Amino acid sequence: MVTTTPLEAELFKIAGAVPDPELPVLTLEELGVVRAVRVHGADAVEVELTPTYTGCPALEAMSSDIERALHAHGVREVTVRTVLSPAWSTDDISDEGRRKLREFGIAPPRVRRDAGAVTVTLGPTRTHDGEEADPVRCPHCGSADTELLSRFSSTACKALRRCLVCREPFDHFKEL
């Protein structure tokens, strides 16, 4: 277990409060990508950041925004280090983050029951109550009667779906 000092905990909160550049409704802490903050010496901080996937185009923006936030707090030297292990998972999104996604009109990823590999299946594109143990629910009306329109949406980590009850399209943050 890593011991955290009160200063490191405070700086973690500052780094974690930075909005995600692709989903500004979420903070980086709620998204679960800020892994640790370590103070080195009198005025140097290292932040460990895990991208949502290896080729994430937002990584540079996240790093710059964290540096800017910590500089504004008076930290002179900030290093943001990319950490790929353990890999980020949608299970790392906090309950608050999932709530915010739903309120923003994005169906949050379903919670995975195990920590094993995510299998990809190309099955039915519609979900209904009773057909799936955990259907993708419409964030607008809550219906489980939804259909997949595209496996990719505004970002690679989201799929485009439509509710068959209220007819509204919505993004679904895919499980990973």
Residue-wise pLDDT for 114-161, tens only, equals 655 655 555 556 665 555 578 899 999 999 999 999 988 888 888 999
Summarised one tens digit per residue, pLDDT across range 80-109 is 999 999 999 999 999 999 999 999 999 999
**Both 105 and 77 in a single domain?**
no
pLDDT at 42 (0 to 100): 81
pLDDT at 110 (0 to 100): 87
**Both 104 and 76 in a single domain?**
no
**Both 77 and 103 in a single domain?**
no
Please identify, among 59, 82, 105, the residue that sits at the C-terminal boundary of a domain. 82
User: Could you give the CA distance from residue 32 to residue 72 in angstroms, rounded to a whole number?
Assistant: 22
Structural domain harbouring 74: 6-82
**Both 139 and 162 in a single domain?**
yes
Summarised one tens digit per residue, pLDDT across range 45-70 is 999 999 998 888 899 999 999 999 99
Task: Report the number of distinct structural domains present in the chain.
Answer: 2
In a domain, 89, yes or no: no
**Both 62 and 25 in a single domain?**
yes
**Both 101 and 153 in a single domain?**
yes
20-24 average pLDDT score: 93
User: Could you give the CA distance from residue 76 to residue 143 in angstroms, rounded to a whole number?
Assistant: 50
In this prediction the pTM is 0.79
